[in-house]
Chains A and B, each alone.
Chain A
Amino acid sequence: MKKFLQIAKRIGLLLSLSAVSFSAQAQLQVVVTTGMIADLARNIGGDNLKVTALMGSGVDPHLYKATQGDLRRLSRADLILYNGLHLEGKMQDIFEKMARKKAVFAVSDKIPEENLIQHGKVHDPHIWFNVQLWIEAGKRITEILSQQDPKHAQIYQQRSQAYLKQLQELNSWVHQQIELIPQQKRILITAHDAFNYFGHAYGIKVMGLQGISTAAEFGLQDVKYLKDVIVANKISAVFVESSVSPKFIQSLVAGVKAEGHELKIGGELFSDAMGIKGTPEGTYIGMVKHNVHTIVEALK
């Protein structure tokens, strides 16, 4: 049944795609890597762009596998946008090479060094969790679009101003919401370290079971340390992520409960990918709101 639905969806998609390609030849073909960038580009570009994301909703960028069609999409694109800071792994080398012949840009490339979080010698790529940095990425996209498609530059500027204002409001809303959590309880525990920018920007301590890469293993010490922190700070909830298996977090909860402390799973956060298209969580703003709601409800 699920498969049938998928096929039906695909046929529907094909039909809608062919309809679109008939109606508007003048659209700029934009291919992006993540759903977050697609959302940003759609909000700024509106009907002047046709945006295609390589990574579908719910796909962890670390686990993305290219298909034959991705080759065609990339070679036909007028403009390619990616996150950069090594989020796309080895694909970034390819994008950097393509940039010599094509309009290929990292949306993070103009963010000042001092605003980036560093781990050793490399940068943390999860910039979208700091709405302020995402606004910077939005400005960069506006700049790129205006360059690539100067005829519509004015429209892009207008749309961008309107959308970035929404993000600005979102940013202050997140600040207000986090204030609702008692100072001592502002500790966010998840499966992997995707939320460092979030913690840094909104004053909440972030701890993860795994390192940045979803493939790395964690040690017994890490689990024990997390348990101690949870007990000492009377933390009431930890969180699972949409793109990471919940089993590690579940076993952490079981471990803490076995020692006689109350700990629940506060809910599912969207980390490396957004929700399903068509749902509120399928947009950037919806995703951030969902995450903040979930965190505040569980911790306050």
Chain B
Amino acid sequence: MINDLWILATASLVAAACSMVGVFLILRRQALLGDAISHSVLLGIVLAYLLSGSRDLFVMLFGAVAIGLVTAWLSDTLHRFGRIQADASIGIIFTLFFALGVILVSLFAGQIDLDQECVLYGEIAFVPFDTIYLGGMENGVEIGPRAFWTILVVFAIVLISILLAFQRLQTVSFHPSLAASLGINILFWHYFLMTLVSMTTVASFDAVGAILVVALLVIPASSAYLLAKSLKGMLWIAFAYSQVAVVVGYAVSYQLDSSISASIAVAAGILLALTIAIQLLNKRYRQKQPAKQFAPEQASSNA
């Protein structure tokens, strides 16, 4: 029971952090940046392994965050200064990094099991077993899963950043030219956001695995995009969608004995599909109503 609670709490924090960051990615048309980072981290972990000779988790995490940052920064820079479309520049950078990683693996580490699936991506079902101790491993107090505390810190950083910089982020996202004329350092805020994205995704990869992170970055924010009328509203709706997806997905995985992260991702997708369906029905209903009013008139004119 306590294990289920830890998993739900961790998933809920990952979902909250990813959906909030995802809102800005959707608005900037960089929705697949998370997916891109999930591939390019291969280069990060290979470099980290080659430099340190160890597959220790912290070494791997360090390499992954570093390459995640470089991916986010470089694809933004390529878009900005190379005048290449935002989505294309993401595609260029992450495939380049992934390919470099593959070459390095076959050159130097062909005999070792070294890929992000094996050394970096976490499995949310095992979160409760990976606990940390306050005050040393031997006689310290057990304070719960490592992934929970890591992601709690990341969530706090994301939340505080958005709360403190809300006005700036809003102006930069919606009115970049206005922001420039107001003397706001646009570059700084873009890179600030990219840093948040990279940190959130890599920490979440470690906690819950790649597919769920990519899904939570894109789907709740997309659902919110359909409904919201302001940035604030979009953030709240994305947050709500992500939390419902976590609860529903976990219940489904319990019933079906299926993968927890895959079930949450599917739940998020179904919620989005339902939202679209309801919106379409609503639209059709509204279109039909005036048609009904005209119908008797038409009938009488025909007569």
* A211 CB, min distance to chain B CBs, angstroms: 4
Residue of A70, A90, A193, A215 ringed by the most chain B CB atoms within 10 A:
A90
Q: When the two chains form their complex, are residues B106 and A71 in contact, meaning their CB atoms are under 8 A apart?
A: no
Q: Contact flags (1/0) for A53-77 with B, using CB distance below 8 Å? A: 0000000001001111111001100
Taking A71-B7, A213-B113, A213-B118 as contacts, is the C-beta distance between A66 and B253 under 8 angstroms? no
Q: When the two chains form their complex, are residues A89 and B113 in contact, meaning their CB atoms are under 8 A apart?
A: yes
> Is A122 located at the chain interface by the 8 A CB criterion?
yes
Q: Contact flags (1/0) for A70-101 with B, using CB distance below 8 Å? A: 11001100000000001001110110011000
Query: Among residues 158 to 214 in chain A, which have CB atoms less than 8 Å away from a CB atom of chain B?
Result: 193, 211-213
Interface residue count on the A side (C-beta < 8 Å): 33
> Is A278 located at the chain interface by the 8 A CB criterion?
no
Taking A62-B117, A65-B259, A75-B3 as contacts, is the C-beta distance between A216 and B105 under 8 angstroms? yes
Q: When the two chains form their complex, are residues B257 and A67 in contact, meaning their CB atoms are under 8 A apart?
A: yes
Q: When the two chains form their complex, are residues A211 and B125 in contact, meaning their CB atoms are under 8 A apart?
A: no
Interface residue count on the B side (C-beta < 8 Å): 38
Q: When the two chains form their complex, are residues B258 and A212 in contact, meaning their CB atoms are under 8 A apart?
A: no
Contact with B111, one of A62, A97, A211, A219 (Cβ below 8 angstroms): A211
> Is B44 located at the chain interface by the 8 A CB criterion?
no
Interface class of chain A by DSSP: loop
> Who on chain A is nearest to B118 by CB?
A89
Residue of B57, B112, B117 ringed by the most chain A CB atoms within 10 A:
B112
> Is A3 located at the chain interface by the 8 A CB criterion?
no
Taking A68-B260, A90-B123, A93-B57 as contacts, is the C-beta distance between A216 and B131 under 8 angstroms? no
> Is B233 located at the chain interface by the 8 A CB criterion?
no
Query: Among residues 107 to 155 in chain B, which have CB atoms less than 8 Å away from a CB atom of chain A?
Result: 109-115, 117-123, 125-126, 128-131
Taking A119-B112, A215-B115 as contacts, is the C-beta distance between A90 and B125 under 8 angstroms? no
Chain B residues with CB below 8 A from A122, complex form: 55, 112-113
> Is B254 located at the chain interface by the 8 A CB criterion?
yes
* A272 CB, min distance to chain B CBs, angstroms: 11
Residue of B120, B257, B263 ringed by the most chain A CB atoms within 10 A:
B257
Q: When the two chains form their complex, are residues B119 and A67 in contact, meaning their CB atoms are under 8 A apart?
A: no
> Is A217 located at the chain interface by the 8 A CB criterion?
yes
Chain A residues with CB below 8 A from B258, complex form: 67-68
Chain A residues with CB below 8 A from B118, complex form: 62, 89-90, 213, 215
* B118 CB, min distance to chain A CBs, angstroms: 4
Q: When the two chains form their complex, are residues B114 and A97 in contact, meaning their CB atoms are under 8 A apart?
A: no
> Is B53 located at the chain interface by the 8 A CB criterion?
yes
Query: Among residues 210 to 259 in chain A, which have CB atoms less than 8 Å away from a CB atom of chain B?
Result: 211-213, 215-219
Q: When the two chains form their complex, are residues B53 and A121 in contact, meaning their CB atoms are under 8 A apart?
A: yes
Contact with B125, one of A71, A86, A219 (Cβ below 8 angstroms): A71
> Is A120 located at the chain interface by the 8 A CB criterion?
yes
The 5 closest A-B pairs by CB, nearest first: A119-B111, A211-B110, A89-B118, A69-B257, A68-B253
* Pairs A–B under 8 Å by Cβ, sample size 18: A66-B126, A67-B258, A67-B259, A68-B259, A71-B3, A71-B126, A71-B128, A75-B3, A90-B57, A90-B118, A90-B119, A121-B53, A212-B110, A213-B115, A215-B115, A216-B105, A216-B106, A217-B106
Residues in A lying within 8 Å of B, measured CB to CB: 62, 65-71, 74-75, 86, 89-91, 93-94, 97-98, 119-122, 124-125, 193, 211-213, 215-219
Residues in B lying within 8 Å of A, measured CB to CB: 3, 7, 53, 55, 57, 102, 105-106, 109-115, 117-123, 125-126, 128-131, 250, 253-254, 256-260, 262-263
